[in-house]
Amino acid sequence: MAIETRNPVTGELLKEFRSWNSTELDSVLNDVAQATPLWQKTTLDQRAQHLRAAASLLRKNQEQYAQLITMEMGKVIAEARAEVEKCATGCDYYADNAAEFLKDDMIESDAGRSYVACLPLGTILAIMPWNFPFWQVFRFAAPGLMAGNTVVLKHASNTPQCALAIEQLFLQAGLLKNVFRTLLISAEQTRSVIEDRRIHAVTLTGSETAGRRVASVAGACIKKTVLELGGSDAFVVLEDADLDEAAKVAVKSRFLNSGQSCIAAKRIILVEAIADAFVERFVKLVRALKPGNPLDSDHHIGPLARHDLRDTLHEQVRDSITQGATPVLGCKVIDGPGTFYEISILDNVLPGMRAYDEELFGPVACIVRVKNEQEALQMANLHKYGLGASVWTRDVARGERFARDMQSGASFVNGLVKSDARLPFGGIKGSGYGRELSRHGIHEFVNLKTIWIK
């Protein structure tokens, strides 16, 4: 089976790779297994040096990596550059802080001395998506490698060149051979990797459907998993909010990466007192966005990553209009060789409509109108997902109370929901479990081992 990478702007086949057979896969897993104890014996200082070298290479070759990201999945070039820099920042963060995060935790007990040690688990399988093809990998790999684990990466089938570039980057940064390997395998082969005795845990960023499958297989093998799945973030605007600022951030949040982000503002929930005024501002700003070739710095919105993704999005929009949503802007496929979709706004979106109940992965904003703050909170929590959320109000104490009551892994008051290496990232409910980043993320894949000494 071939693994293809196509330019989503033109549909042109860029490169084709042959999927490995079972013998080739087994050989690589065996190589990684042999490298694992060697990597575990390296010191934290040695690992940190490699991560700092990786950060330096990311910055040195930023344009090269950004161009590769844009060519494979269509991200506008400015956002691709920012993604590469974010990876470098993440490497530096764990190089600087992992020693503190992983130090022995001394605890008084009936022992002469007792403590908890953070020891590596072994080899972690990372199943990663295409929408942030570098950052999603580094978000796990930086803490995972610093903790002493080895990594095998099953990347999205449409970003194999990004996956191979990351492997090569880590080699150039001085990592031992086979500490980080990219697996050129099909989705169907992934199950056997999860079940393999040489794999000790699994991390997945992807769809809810993929999460259920991975958790089921890993659970049957009693292997630890961290799942970061879908999202339909609530963006709640209360009547005392700064509407100009809220509208500006709502546009950035919803249309970043052409709307292909798990933590985008997918449900913009407005109390009726300011709904019309907000929508007027929002529509004006959205109309100023320019779709087009993502390599052109004048364009804000690129294509969707694949044709099937665009087809699914259009079905969701079309069905939602049939169900009663009001099309305000766009809501059509852009004709041409690429996978472009019109920048779109749906108003009067309600539970029961596909635009509300499902995740819309593309440049489509949904307006939800409610009567008051109480109804806004109920609507924000009325969803199967719980990844991120935000609330907008000039009363910061009010916003903090509201944020604590929102059912999400992260709640932001008057700010853009984003990932930050210093803060834990992850969701609840259908958005998954476990955390990435910060101290909490590096602890997900270590053996918190009790040492008791008389």
Return the CATH class of domain 234-420. alpha beta
Residue 375 CB-half CA count within 13 A: 12
- Position 55 scores a pLDDT of 98
pLDDT digits (tens, 9 = 90+) for 426-443: 999 999 999 999 999 999
Whole-Å CA distances, 114 to 98, 216, 317, 400: 22, 36, 58, 39
Per DSSP, 305 falls in state S
Q: Is the pLDDT of residue 198 over 90?
A: yes
Q: Is the pLDDT of residue 1 over 90?
A: no
Q: Do domains 2-229+431-453 and 234-420 have the same CATH topology?
A: no
Tell me the pLDDT band of 451, cut-offs 50, 70 and 90: very high
- List CB contacts of 349: < 8 A, sequence separation 6 or more: 267, 320, 325, 355, 356, 366, 367, 368
Tell me the pLDDT band of 405, cut-offs 50, 70 and 90: very high
With CA atoms as reference, report the closest residue to 232 among 407, 105, 413, 17: 407
pLDDT digits (tens, 9 = 90+) for 55-90: 999 999 999 999 999 999 999 999 999 999 999 999
Average confidence (pLDDT) over 163-186? 98
- Position 375 scores a pLDDT of 98
Give the residue extent of every domain in the chain: 2-229+431-453, 234-420
Average confidence (pLDDT) over 161-186? 98
- Position 320 scores a pLDDT of 98
Average confidence (pLDDT) over 177-187? 97
Query: Is domain 2-229+431-453 annotated with CATH 3.40.605.10?
Result: yes
pLDDT digits (tens, 9 = 90+) for 335-363: 988 999 999 999 999 999 999 999 999 99
Rounded distance between C-alpha atoms, residue 327 and residue 186, angstroms: 38
Q: Is the pLDDT of residue 216 over 80?
A: yes
Q: Is the pLDDT of residue 10 over 80?
A: yes
Question: Catalytic residue numbers?
Answer: 228, 262
With CA atoms as reference, report the closest residue to 170 among 203, 135, 198, 142: 142
pLDDT above 90: percentage of residues in the chain: 99
- Position 278 scores a pLDDT of 98
Average model confidence (pLDDT) across the chain = 97
